[in-house]
Amino acid sequence: MMMRRVWGMLAAAMVVTMLFSPYQGLAEESGGLYPERPPLPEIDPEQMQIVIVEADDDPVEAMARVQEQLPDTQVRRTFLTLFNGFSLEIKQKDIEQLQTIKGVKRIDPVAMYEPSMDESIPFIGGNEIRSMLDEDGDRLTGEGIKIGVIDTGIDYHHPDLKKNYRGGYDVVDEDDDPMETTKEEGVPTLHGTHVAGIIAADGRMHGVAPDAEIYGYRALGPTGIGTTEQVIAAIEKAVEDEVDVINLSLGNTVNGPDWPTSVALDKAVEAGVVAVTSNGNSGPNLWTVGSPGTSSKAISVGASTPPLRIPYLVLDRNEEQEWAITPMIRAQPWDQKREDEIVYAGLGRKEDFNNTDVKGKIAIVERGIVTFTVKAKAAKQAGAKGLIVYNNHDGEFAGTLEEIVDLPVVSMSKEDGEALLSELSKTNHSRIRTVYHEEQDFIAPFSSRGPVTYSWDVKPDLVAPGVAIDSTVPKGYLDMNGTSMAAPHIAGAAALVLQKHPDWTPDQVKAALMNSAKLISDRDGNVYPPHVQGTGRVDLSRALKVETLVYPGAVSFGKWLRDDTRIEKQVKITVDNQSDERKRYTVDPPFEVPDGIQWKVPFSFYLNPGEKREVPIIMDVLPSVFEGGMYNGIIEVKSKDEIINVPYLFFVEEPDYPRVMAFMLEHTTEEDVYQYEVYLPGGAEEFGIVLYEPDTFQFVKYIEAKKDVDRGMLEEKLEIQGVEPGVYKALIFARQDGKEDTIERDIIIGQYLGPSSSR
């Protein structure tokens, strides 16, 4: 599912504004020195103008009012961070009425450069490949390739999409009209239109494959929510319609290879369809990839950053130390241009600010207890100049305010926040300023990490730009963030590969994209491990020039225990010579390996043009030498002029994956009877559901207790009696191999109507 997180580069960066009035700048007459001025030219009332509209409340709500009262207008872009408003194409005669619409604060005419798809498509080689030709001599644009977008629907009336739209199906309403949810039908959606634009927009914006045929399958209804049943039905419908590629920028939090949507995707690939799915937006912790990103045969895509201007904070007395910050959605932009005093204000509650002098200063607070919006409003009321919220868990996070607050608000990682506080504790007065760096090719913090539980597969398979990606939305354009935006870059890339190689299988298309990806590194220069970046960031121009394919593009040797005897772990890869010459190949495992490993690989071998060979790679292991944990590295497959990286990983001892996931409880039609479902990725020696009082956390009772539960989905009915109706805190736990994990949920027992029984 989509997650929005903007790092300071929005569509507004592509807009050049000229503030003017038709009467501005006329020279005053001075004693006849100037000839008589001709009359001003009349302005055509039907002439279309482009204007910037500044909103004084939520710009999305203001935009909806404008479109309702002035249906002939066309929204071009929405700005939520650097500018609170949107750009609009409007008739001259309607500007006066526009000024009277609630929420419209200011109107300015603009001049605008022709936009591209942010910088993401040129960045991955999209411009270079336009000169490449397919076997018929046509440019590589995705022509003739059918792509199914399984999502919230598509605004097929959008001028950038209507030429390429070919049809589809609405699984939610069971009809042939996969239009996005409109406001008349519920909470409006725009996600699928944005995804479709990244793949194949062909108008003011151009997608990765601008001539591909787009088919929409609406599997997610109002608010962008859908069921496993709907998603599987959409996959089946797309396969029946014989699409070549399907894109699923959606997912859940279940990290298991056997979840139904993952299995359905595997079957779709076996039927000959290239399946592309987002890896998830639950990073930066390991094991956060969710289904269908866990599908072994699909291409799972994580999110990296295109070129961005990233803000950092520095203290006046220690300018060598920099701390990254991330602007929060619906806050004012962070554009501090001078040094400001910074003070610590606890958890950012009203009482914290009452006890801290933050007037005219930057406040730094810890995440937790109250929402970001409450913290921001309290800081604003106390007179703070800006607010920094540092994480209360390891790593970075992406924050969103519930409403617009007139205050710059940013987030910071736990580690950086604590380091900054440590510096602040050394003196009574500290001043801070902002510096900016141009950065690219970093993993987005929200991008979910692998590996996959049980199968121990490497996921994601590769990464693509997924931060501040500008694309089509109903009646306009919008920049959005998420692995949902990364996946369609790969779906479009797959279309180009298929156009050039129409006879290739999904495995070969996947290999071309993975084998040619660029390995990327973190800010300290360390190469991201395979369960974070897969084989790297997609490189379109290299993918379309590959001569050798190696698949699978990444491998797992599974796990073993330290007290196992000496064992051999074997994987097999296929080396596929797609060139027109005979080639000699070698398989080179890493030279620097931990003690306790010996590699067994074949001697060099030759492949004729079009020939392929299955090659065994054996890891001879002495388990007792190893400490418990996860290990990874890269195996190289080489020919005279190619080096293909094949990442691998393995585990010693039972991995530290979450033992319990995706709990849900609902009341059945029977009195006192409930049904729950929960996913146990490795099974459970002990599993249970415990009720507590929500305020005092006093134990109430066990409503479920089991032992030796098999791995996978557990679906059970249970009868709950002897509990007063009300809201309870439920603790769902699972213990396996010496590790216990829990999920905490508020659940309703009985016919609870809340504090007032008059509802």
Choosing from 447, 484, 556, 639, which is the catalytic residue? 484
pLDDT at 601: 93
pLDDT in tens, 277-303: 999 988 888 999 999 999 999 999 999
Instruction: Report whether pLDDT(693) > 60.
Output: yes
Of 272-286, 325-339, 688-702, 744-758, give the lowest mean pLDDT range.
744-758
φ and ψ of 675, to 5 deg? -130, 135
CB neighbourhood size of 718 (10 A) = 14
Which tops the pLDDT comparison, 87 or 304?
A: 304
Q: Is 330 exposed, middle or buried (0-12, 13-18, 19+ CB in 10 A)?
A: buried
**pLDDT band with cut points at 50, 70 and 90 for residue 252:** confident
Model pLDDT for residues 340-383, shown as the tens digit of each residue = 889 999 999 999 999 889 999 999 999 988 889 999 999 999 99
191 catalytic per annotation: yes
This model's pTM is above 0.85? no
Residue 118 has pLDDT above 60, yes or no: no
Q: Considering 94, 118, 151, 202, which one is annotated as catalytic?
A: 151
Q: H or E segment at 237?
A: helix 228-240
Instruction: Give the pLDDT confidence score for residue 694 in this predicted structure.
Output: 85
- Convert the pLDDT of each residue in 659-683 to its tens digit: 999 888 888 888 889 989 899 999 9
**Residues 415-439, mean pLDDT to the nearest whole number:** 84
Task: Read off the pLDDT of each residue in 579-600 and give the average, rounded to a whole number.
Answer: 88
User: What residues are paired with 308 via a beta bridge?
Assistant: 439
Bond from prior residue into 284 cis (ω within 30 degrees of 0): yes
Residue with tokens 């592509």: 14
Q: Would you say 8 and 467 are in contact if contact means Cβ atoms under 8 Å apart?
A: no
Output the six-digit token pair for 273: 């369809």
Catalytic-residue membership of 484: yes
Which range, 222-236, 566-580, 717-731, has the best average confidence (pLDDT)? Answer: 566-580
Is pLDDT larger for residue 644 or for residue 223?
644
Q: Given CA atoms 512, 268, 570, 566 in this order, what sign does their dihedral have? A: positive
pLDDT tens digits, 11-57: 222 221 111 122 222 222 223 333 343 443 455 677 777 676 778 87
* pLDDT, position 8: 25
Q: For residue range 86-96, list pLDDT tens digits in order.
A: 777 888 888 88
pLDDT tens-place string over residues 159-187:
999 999 999 999 999 999 999 999 889 88
- As a whole number, mean pLDDT of residues 415-442 equals 85
pLDDT given at position 113 = 22
Amino acid (1-letter code) at residue 176: D
Which residues, including other chains, have CB under 8 Å from residue 340's CB and lie 6 or more apart?
A: 360, 361, 362, 385, 386, 431, 432, 433
Residue with the bigger pLDDT between 36 and 657: it is: 657
Q: What DSSP letter does each residue of 606-636 carry, written as one string? A: EE-TT-EEEEEEEEEE-GGGSPSEEEEEEEE
For residues 573-584, give the mean pLDDT. 97
Average pLDDT, the chain: 85
Contacting residues for 346 by C-beta, under 8 A, at least 6 apart: 352, 355, 356, 365, 366
Is 516 assigned a catalytic role?
no
Residue 447 has pLDDT above 80, yes or no: yes
Instruction: Give the active site residue among 158, 191, 194, 206.
Output: 191
Q: Six-digit token pair at 284?
A: 């930066």
Provide the pLDDT for residue 40.
Answer: 36
Integer Cα distance of 464 and 392 in angstroms: 29
